[in-house]
Chains A and B, each alone.
Chain A
Amino acid sequence: MSPVKPGYTRPLDLRHGRIDMSHGSGGRSMVQLIEQIFLSAFDNPALAARDDHAVLTTPPELALGGQLVMATDSHVVSPLFFPGGDIGCLSVHGTVNDVAMAGARPLWLSAGFILEEGFPLADLQRIVTSMARAAADAGVPIVTGDTKVVQAGKGDGVFINTTGVGVTRPGVHLSGSLARPGDAILVSGTMGDHGVAVMSVREGLSFGTTLLSDTQSLHTLVAAMLDAVPGIHVLRDPTRGGLGATLNEIASQSGVGMRLSESAIPVRGEVRAACELLGLDPLYVANEGKLLAICPADQADALLAAMRAHPQGRDAARIGSVVDDPNRFVQMTTALGGQRMVDWLSGEQLPRIC
């Protein structure tokens, strides 16, 4: 007679198992999913308390005049796994960067998962492991979270929302509304890597490229930049809509125009080639590990040197200037020597046909 183990639960089958509705029902299966997949990966004291909230320690900067910063981002990328990353690390990097662009030190993250019935547990574990590694690398713990399951067909595998909280460096004030005529515009590296890497594997587009997404957390680069030039006016990560959309947002917020030089904007050869084939403009392709900085012209050299000294800013470049323009146009001298506008993207960027 075999003895019955008290309270025995069979471990999750992480090789062949799939999400079912019970994993979101509040019962034992849900607890098991949380313990076996999430708690073990995200392990930290706030989460280990197993409350529905995280109780956090006040950061020292607050007493010195630093301010709290909060940002949220939902991630719905398809495919979930792409060259150079996956939805897991992307969901950490995206929110860490949104917080960092305020000139803040990111402190904590929350993570909300919407899982689709039938989603393989092996994929979920791979995503969560990648998320945990990205959070650990960034030194930003995931302190609270939530899991919901939706019926098959009502989701796209997994959606992840992350919210980040950080604290600004005392005395630092960054905003998209602070660009002033005469300021210099800099970028931290090559444009369009993430978007082209994702597009290269997206269904229907078999495009053989070894290009990797640039997805990464940028807060250490931001810290190095603020150490060198505390008076930076604007920082922004040109994600969706790429550099073109980001510059137009800032021009509109600050009530200024911009002048760019196309030949100064770093774009990888592979990205240019892929965009050429697909009829896309790299200026509108998403980045997930690059930033755009605007600072007074006389501090641009110092800022560029600080960026290039950091491994994430090796390819940094000064790409143009802020100008006085009531129309708030972003204009560019093309590599050929012509003149054109870099306008807002209208709708989705769709490939041209011939």
Chain B
Amino acid sequence: MKYVDEFRNADLARGLARAITQAVAPGHRYNLMEFCGGHTHAIARHGLRALLPPEIELIHGPGCPVCVLPIGRIDQAIALARDHGVLLCTYADLMRVPASNASSLMKARSQGADVRMVYSAIDALKLAQQHPDREVVFLAIGFETTTPPTASVLRQARALGLRNFSVLCNHVLTPPAMRGILGPAPGNETSAHLHGFIGPAHVSTVIGSEPYRFCADDYHRPVVITGFEPLDVMQAVLMLVRQLNEGRAEIENQFTRSVTPLGNQKAQALMAEVFELRDSFEWRGLGSLPHSALKLRPEYASFDAEQRFAAPYRAVADAKACECGAILRGEKRPQDCRVFGTVCTPDNPIGSCMVSSEGACAAHYTYGRFMTDMPTIAEKPGATA
């Protein structure tokens, strides 16, 4: 497969593994958080852990849009589909996320709610055009990657004068979440365990590399913006190890084939035209973060499902035993959670980290739980391939 196989070459992977092993200072820890679920998935699916030396710890961050959506938001969507009889469409991953009272969108569907899976926001708009007699609500989630398509569809809906289409907006922003993880003030103890970030790929294509500057300037943490292919991730690990060894904290760009300092300004303008900042938004695991999410601008109020229907958001506490919060902040590993793999499994998820394959817990359960006993097979310095 062209443009994919090049980034999954086993010889190059071995070479990079060797370089990383040679670069790490023995006995030194390198705790690197990959912010994005896309990286978590790539690391798990390609089994990267086994290629890295034990000094490197990869910590799965909160960049899985499904995982950070609080229970109350799913409840709100279920209420729209069930009590207001809307045709609710959303991305597939969200279907199984646990809501209150052991419900989920999938269960609501089995009880008669009209919940449809779509592959893109435009499919939701098409459904609205095909069903002029129905209220169609698009449950929009995701970071800056999925936001421009929602904005584009909203602009289209307004141009078409659609009266039966609205969006339940849950779009969130990456930099405020990273700030949330690092702590309210530079040097805050809660993030002392994090040494550097493997920065987002697709998100950075949209927002550019500049918005991460505060990580280096305020918190002295290096960020390497990284593509989603396994060799990208390995190269980023090497770049981070070198920065940390040299005491540098810079924003470096490994994903130069897609990311520029200022990003996709057309997409940014589109987002700014349709959305504005929320004062505050509740994140699962991270609590309420200021200016961390988007809502529709007043000009688009008639397309805002929250204003159109009386389905107010109510915060719901996570299950007590669930450690999703600490895991999303990188304070605990999935296997440190009491319910991991016992009552919380991908088939019966308690926490949202167990739902999406990008979630830290599901990725570890599905791809990595054998490693609890598995010796690392990374090559030692001096070994020949």
Contacts and interface: CB of A to CB of B under 8 A. Distances in A.
Contacts of B50: 338-340
B46 A334 contact: yes
Contacts of B95: 350
Given A352-B93, A353-B92, A354-B38, A341 B119 contact: no
Contacts of B93: 350-353
Contacts of A272: 1, 4
A346 B345 contact: yes
A346 B369 CA distance: 15
Given A334-B47, A335-B10, A336-B46, A353 B65 contact: yes
Interface stretch (A68-76, A116-124, A324-332): A324-332
A4 interface: no
A273 interface: yes
B49 interface: yes
Interface in B325-354: 345-347
B46 A276 contact: no
A332 B47 contact: yes
Contacts of B91: 351, 353
A353 to B, nearest CB: 4
A333 B202 contact: no
Nearest to A269: B1
B92 A341 contact: no
Interface string B4-31: 1000111001100100000000000000
B119 A334 contact: no
A332 B370 CA distance: 11
Interface in A217-266: 263
Contacts of B8: 335-336
B273 interface: no
B316 interface: no
Contacts of A332: 47
B377 A339 contact: yes
Interface residues on B, range: 35 or more
Contacts of B365: 343
B95 to A, nearest CB: 7
A204 interface: yes
Interface in B164-197: none
Q: Which of A281, A332, A340 has the most CB of B within 10 A?
A: A340
Interface residues on A, range: 20 to 34
B4 A276 contact: yes
Contacts of A350: 92-93, 95-96, 117
B146 A337 contact: no
A352 B357 contact: yes
Contact of A341 (B41, B51, B370): B370
A269 B146 CA distance: 28
A205 B4 contact: no
Contact of A338 (B41, B46, B345, B370): B46
A352 to B, nearest CB: 6
A352 B41 contact: yes
Contacts of A351: 91-93, 119
Nearest to A330: B370
A86 to B, nearest CB: 25
B13 A337 contact: yes
Contacts of A352: 37, 41, 92-93, 356-358
B230 interface: yes
B123 interface: yes
B131 interface: no
B317 interface: no
A89 to B, nearest CB: 28
Interface string B351-373: 00000111000100111111100
B44 interface: yes
A347 B17 CA distance: 35
Contacts of A353: 65-66, 91-94, 141-142, 146
B1 A204 contact: no
B230 A341 contact: no
A339 B47 contact: yes
Contacts of B368: 340-341
Contacts of A331: 370
Given A343-B366, A350-B95, A351-B92, A336 B123 contact: no
14 contacts: A205-B119, A269-B1, A276-B1, A336-B47, A336-B51, A338-B51, A339-B47, A339-B370, A340-B45, A340-B50, A347-B96, A351-B91, A353-B65, A354-B142
Given A204-B117, A334-B47, A353-B142, 19 more contacts: A272-B1, A272-B4, A329-B370, A334-B45, A335-B8, A335-B46, A336-B9, A336-B13, A337-B10, A338-B48, A340-B44, A341-B370, A347-B347, A351-B93, A352-B41, A353-B93, A353-B94, A353-B141, A354-B145
